[in-house]
């Protein structure tokens, strides 16, 4: 991916001009804590609601909120913290994300680059229409695995495991010890 992938995130402003923000997305123009007037800020200061569920060889991360300049670092840090092994697959459930800007897109693309380099992948699931349009217009969907549901993402990953990829079960597989059948 490299520089070409990062260029995808740079095309965000062109895409946003075509797509526009989701209906009802109006950043407040209140005076932020740093005193600079007219700078957008989130109406709620809670940030993103993030949760995860672990499976052998993969982790599902559910994201709830708007992924933008004020929350992208929270998402990046959470994704990094939940990755147990470099080759692990991450499924990002975006069903509750109604808006994503270039900062959020960049987090996903960089995570995909890192995962691919280490033998894993980032899978996006249940992408809301506005972020989906952003992925389409910028061409980012060519660099990310996008699935209709979390379940289809899990099935796609399990299919790669049946093709000989180790999901990270190691000696925990039923009937095996250290990858060999007990003698």
Length of the chain: 183
Task: Check if the beta carbon of residue 32 is closer than 8 Å to that of residue 42.
Answer: no
Per-residue tokens: 15: 């895409």
Q: What angle do CA 5, 155, 59 make, to 5 degrees?
A: 65
Where exactly are the structural domains of the chain? 2-16+50-166
Q: What is the pTM of this model?
A: 0.67
Closest to 125 in 3D by CA, of 59, 72, 71, 80: 59
5 Rama class: left (phi>0) / alpha (psi -120 to 50) / beta: alpha
Strand partners, 154: none
Could you tell me what percent of the chain has a pLDDT over 90?
Answer: 57
The owner of tokens 């001009």 is: 17
CATH number for the domain formed by residue range(s) 2-16+50-166: 3.30.750.24
Q: What span, in angstroms and rounded, lies between the C-alpha atoms of 180 and 171?
A: 8
pLDDT at residue number 93: 98
CA 75-76-81 angle, 5° bins: 95
Note the pLDDT tens digit of each residue in 127-149.
999 999 999 999 999 889 999 99
Question: Residue 99: its pLDDT value, please?
Answer: 96
C-alpha span between 116 and 114 (Å, rounded): 6
- pLDDT per residue as tens digits for the range 11-38: 444 444 455 544 444 443 333 344 433 3
Short-list 96, 90, 81, 82, CA closest to 49: 96
């Amino acid at each position: 991916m490299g520089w070409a992938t990062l260029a995808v995130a740079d095309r965000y402003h062109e895409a946003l001009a075509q797509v526009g923000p989701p209906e009802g997305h109006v950043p407040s123009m209140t005076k932020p804590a740093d005193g600079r007037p007219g700078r957008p800020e989130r109406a709620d200061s809670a940030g993103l609601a993030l949760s995860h569920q672990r499976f052998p060889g993969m982790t599902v991360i559910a994201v709830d909120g708007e992924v933008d300049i004020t929350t992208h670092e929270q998402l990046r840090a959470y994704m990094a913290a939940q990755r147990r092994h470099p080759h692990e697959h991450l499924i990002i459930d975006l069903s509750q994300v109604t808006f994503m800007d270039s900062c959020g897109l960049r987090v996903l693309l960089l995570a995909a680059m890192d995962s691919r380099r280490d033998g894993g992948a980032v899978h996006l699931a249940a992408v809301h229409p506005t972020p989906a349009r952003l992925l389409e217009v910028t061409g980012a969907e060519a660099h990310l695995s996008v699935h209709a549901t979390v379940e289809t993402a899990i099935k796609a990953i399990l299919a790669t495991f049946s093709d000989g990829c180790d999901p990270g079960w190691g000696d925990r597989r039923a009937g095996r010890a250290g990858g060999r059948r007990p003698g």
